[in-house]
Amino acid sequence: MHYQADVADVVYRYDGTMQGFLCCVFESFRRRELPCGICSPEEGRLTLFPEREIATDPARARRVLTGIERLGGGVRQRFMTAFLSTDPEKEQILLRYLRLAFATGRGVDRMLGDPDVAAAWQLERAVNGEAHHFLEFIRFEERDGMLGAVIHPQNMVLPLLRPHFCSRLPDEAFLIYDATHGIAMLRRGNEVRYLEMEDYDRETSPEEQQWQMLWKRFFRALTIEPRRNERCQRTHCPRRFWRDMCEMQGGCLEVPGQSRKALEEPRNA
């Protein structure tokens, strides 16, 4: 395999799965070309270039994945994590990164001076950073004998949350609903499944409302009003996470000089 390839005036279209993308990598090497774009069905981008449908072939996908694993755990981990990104350019970034990795061999994950490696590292860092936030800011509520939570992530972070919560809640059945992408992670017993969902019923029971009220009261009791620093709070807990945190709703957000509505509306931060 050679890293050098001609940029082709063609756009690859695949099914959006990791197996499908690995087949795009295989096709790029087979044709010795770099497509000017790679699109999944969710993007629906229009292009003036001719399109090439890349069929998902499990055998080809396994062949490419085996090659990635031979490059070491660092390359494999970076690829697997970065692929969870929703950056519209992630496929192009990862294709260039993998072509360089196959040409360079082990140690490519430490070549942060290379623009292709640096771009892949940025994707990995963004996904890991968001997943780390959700490990702290997820708020479960009890319903029908199991725990449930709703999150609104920018990236597909559910696979990164799975090990932590399965370890921390070994005897609990729980569901985490990614409302942004319409996917839920359900854990019952020793089985974990990913389900497509259109909505999640947020109506809470009177008992759960009572528990949430006690949690808000505890949150207020810890607040030292003379030392309240809203800017520091937004730094450590960006506003886009607030909508799914019960302690950040209602009276807990009332600050002199600011309306409750303005504080309750989540913003990108």
Residues 25 and 94 reside in one and the same domain: yes
Domain that holds residue 124: 6-130
The tally of domains found in the chain comes to 3
Q: Lowest mean pLDDT of 156-170, 186-200, 206-220, 246-260, name the range.
A: 246-260
**Greater model confidence, 123 or 208:** 123
Please choose, from the candidates 38, 29, 26, 40, the residue with its C-alpha nearest in 3D space to the C-alpha of residue 5: 29
> What pLDDT was estimated at residue 94?
97
Q: Are residues 15 and 86 in the same domain?
A: yes
The whole-number pLDDT of residue 237 equals 76
Same domain, yes or no: 47 and 124:
yes
Helix axis angle, 18-31 to 90-104, nearest 10°: 60
Q: Which helix (H) or strand (E) holds 205?
A: none
The answer to whether 163 touches 193, Cβ cutoff 8 Å, is: no
Is 170 in the same domain as 110?
no
In a domain, 28, yes or no: yes
Q: What is the pLDDT of residues 220-233, one digit of tens each?
A: 777 777 877 777 76
* Average model confidence (pLDDT) across the chain: 84
Is pLDDT at 2 greater than 50 in this prediction? Answer: no
Spatial distance between the Cα atoms of 263 and 237, rounded to a whole number of angstroms? 13
CATH number at residue 155: 3.40.1620
Asked if the model's pLDDT at residue 266 lies above 60, the reply is: no
Same domain, yes or no: 12 and 123: yes
Residues 120, 105: Cα–Cα separation, whole Å: 16
State whether 239 and 211 are in the same domain: yes
Residue 1 domain flag: no
Q: Is the pLDDT of residue 177 over 60?
A: yes
> Are 218 and 117 within one domain?
no
Cα separation, 248 vs 254, whole angstroms:
10
Task: Taking each helix axis as running N to C, give the angle between helix 73-82 and helix 115-137, from 0 to 180 degrees, rounded to the nearest 10.
Answer: 70
Report d(CA 82, CA 95) in Å as an integer.
Answer: 11
Spatial distance between the Cα atoms of 107 and 82, rounded to a whole number of angstroms: 18
- The dihedral through the CA atoms of 138, 142, 145, 150 has a sign that is negative
Residue 269, domain member (yes or no): no
Quote the tokens at residue 28. Answer: 């790029």
CA gyration radius for the chain? Answer: 22
Residue 19 sits in the same domain as residue 90: yes
125 and 142 inside one domain: no
Looking at the fold, whether 85 and 155 belong to one and the same domain comes out as no
Assigned token pair, 237: 């807990």
Q: Are residues 157 and 117 in the same domain?
A: no
**CA–CA separation, 194 vs 259, rounded Å?**
39
Taking residues 175-187, what's their average pLDDT?
93
- Residues 79, 169 within the same domain: no
Domain annotation covers residue 201: no
